[in-house]
Amino acid sequence: MSSKIYVDADACPVKSETVQVAERHAQTVLIVSNGGIRPNPHPLVQTIVVDDGPDAADKWIAERIGAGDICVTGDIPLAAKCLEAGARALRHNGEAFTQANIGQQLAMRDLMADLRAADPLGQGGGGRPFSKADRSRFKEALERMIRPGSRRNASPD
């Protein structure tokens, strides 16, 4: 059975890049969101619209993803669930979530959430803007994850 690519599509900036890479390898792409995303007519793409609600798309993916599948997400808890299921997970900027780094990333996420809630400097914030270089790194990383015989490149533990 062929592996699938699950895209946590709400606020995902690399949906089209995912489809481009998947097409080269005849991989099915499931674009999962709460709605508001135009369906992709590509025959390898399935658009899945889940109910509204907190983390509904994440739950849908976590319940279905399996060994050998790939999840494209910026959501660290979802990435952890995917890794537990034997799948691989990739950030939008091409950084792989791995068994070796997921614990630290979950801890850092929680720390940053606490800092944002406290807002010690009275400032808002946010990350740096998503760049063309991030898109390029993502495509290269997804290509390495999918390419046969390159699993060792996908999760450098």
The topology under which CATH files domain 4-98+132-150 is Rossmann fold (3.40.50)
Domain ranges of the chain: 4-98+132-150
Q: What is the pLDDT of residues 119-136, one digit of tens each?
A: 666 555 556 788 899 999
What is the spatial distance between Cα 37 and Cα 64, in angstroms, rounded to a whole number? 21
Residue 127: DSSP 8-state: -
Instruction: For residue range 58-90, list pLDDT tens digits in order.
Output: 999 999 999 999 999 999 999 999 999 999 999
pLDDT (0 to 100) of residue 12:
92
Spatial separation of the C-alpha atoms in residues 40 and 21, rounded to whole Å: 15
- pLDDT value of residue 142: 97
Kindly give the residue spans of alpha helices, DSSP state H, lying in 49-150: 56-64, 76-84, 102-118, 132-146
Contacts of 41 (CB under 8 A, 6+ apart): none
What distance in Å separates the CA atoms of residue 44 and residue 52, rounded to the nearest whole number? 25
Instruction: Give residue 54's pLDDT.
Output: 80
